[in-house]
Amino acid sequence: MAKQPQSTVAVNARLTKGSQKVLQLLEKRNSLSTAQEIHSLLRNEDESAPGLTTVYRALESLVALGLVQSVELGDGEKRFELVTPGEHHHHLVCERCRESIHLDQCLVEDLESAIKTKYGFAVTGHILEIFGVCKRCK
Amino acid sequence: MAKQPQSTVAVNARLTKGSQKVLQLLEKRNSLSTAQEIHSLLRNEDESAPGLTTVYRALESLVALGLVQSVELGDGEKRFELVTPGEHHHHLVCERCRESIHLDQCLVEDLESAIKTKYGFAVTGHILEIFGVCKRCK
DNA sequence: GTAGAATTGAAAATCATTTTCAAAAGCGAC
DNA sequence: GTCGCTTTTGAAAATGATTTTCAATTCTAC
């Protein structure tokens, strides 16, 4: 069985079956996945797995709970992945192998107070993803 | 990012009529616009203006020429705006009034060499938009 | 002017996502 | 258990931005 952070276990009890299935899959995968990928993977191993609609709804509630984050890579398809509950992170996405490296630090958070000072703008959220070629594909 | 030394005027001569119309509109607007907004605005002032398909094709070629950039705000709709040819910039997008402030400096470019050193990852592109509340809407 | 190439546009197709709505599952009261 | 009520589910239809198709129009070179 996959390891789960304690808070995940606590929340898990309150999740619908569909959400639990989706969460379990994301725990195993640990990489960016589209809703449709999640759906097919679940259906592959169990033909009575949640339907696509339920997967979308599960993802929506997991994101709202802060257990999962939604990532935009600019291709019109949302990707999802587990996060440390309530936190977020960004990626270096390799254009060759599509693997992504998690950044351990958020560039934007570091700059929020500078942005506040310079522009009088109070940051509440952001999108940041970096594309390029990873070490192995170089 | 790659610089594009061609002058806008020089390029303009080679643009299709549709592209010229779209470019002219973007010059007037100077704010983030969706393809459909551009289309309606053009049609409002001239009912024989390019159709929606042509607007999409015009935007595609203007982006390829480096005269226009496409911006992703995470709502599944692409926005377009003029840029200094071959350059790009990011925004502080106000969630209240939807106005956007151009950032004069790219946070990611500044970090490219650090990313290269730390992760062996060669950056080729990125998405970055910052959301929040602007000074006036505060 | 004419042939061949490029551009255009309306309608149809695509594709991720959302909505609808009726059936199934969960659940508390009795 | 079972009755009644709420929640969850899923298949199909709807949505909405974008892309494709393909025939008609416009350009361009000769």
CA of B22 to C1' of D26 (A): 19
Q: Are the C-beta atoms of residues A115 and B105 closer than 8 Å to each other?
A: no
Number of H helices, E strands in chain A: 5, 6
How many CB pairs (< 8 A) connect A and B? 95
Shortest Cα distance, chain A CAs vs residue B89, angstroms: 13
Q: Are A29 and A96 in the same domain?
A: no
Of residues B107, B120, B133, nearest to A122 (C-beta): B133
Q: Write down the pLDDT at residue B45.
A: 92
Its domain, for residue B99, covers 89-138
pLDDT digits (tens, 9 = 90+) for B103-129: 999 999 999 999 999 999 999 999 999
Q: Are A76 and A115 in the same domain?
A: no
Q: Are A95 and A32 in the same domain?
A: no
Band the pLDDT of B9: cuts 50, 70, 90. low
pLDDT in tens, chain A (138 residues): 444 444 555 566 689 999 999 999 999 998 999 999 999 999 999 999 999 999 999 999 999 999 999 999 989 899 999 999 999 999 999 999 999 999 999 999 999 999 999 999 999 999 999 999 999 998
* CATH number (domain holding residue A69): 1.10.10.10
B9 backbone dihedrals φ, ψ, rounded to 5°: -60, -45
- Count the Cβ atoms, other than its own, within 10 Å of residue B114: 9
**Gap between the Cα atoms of A127 and B129, Å rounded:** 5
Q: Are A46 and A102 in the same domain?
A: no
Asked if the Cβ of residue B30 lies within 7 A of any atom of strand D, the reply is: no
Q: Are B81 and B121 in the same domain?
A: no
pLDDT digits (tens, 9 = 90+) for B34-52: 999 999 999 999 999 999 9
CA-nearest residue to B125 within chain A is A131
Chain B residues touching residue A99 (CB < 8 angstroms): none
pLDDT digits (tens, 9 = 90+) for B75-110: 989 999 999 999 999 999 999 999 999 999 999 999
Q: Are A73 and A94 in the same domain?
A: no
Domain count, chain A: 2
Asked if the Cβ of residue A34 lies within 7 A of any atom of strand C, the reply is: yes
Of residues B119, B128, B134, nearest to A128 (C-beta): B128
Q: How far, in Å, are A115, B98, B100 from residue B136 at the CA level?
A: 15, 12, 12
* CATH number (domain holding residue B109): 3.30.1490.190
Q: Write down the pLDDT at residue A119.
A: 96
Q: Are B58 and B13 in the same domain?
A: yes
Q: Write down the pLDDT at residue A9.
A: 56
Nucleotide nearest to A51 (CA to C1'): D10
Q: Are B21 and B36 in the same domain?
A: yes
Q: Which of residues 34-93 of B touch strand D (CB under 7 A)?
A: 34-36, 52-53, 56-57, 60, 76-78
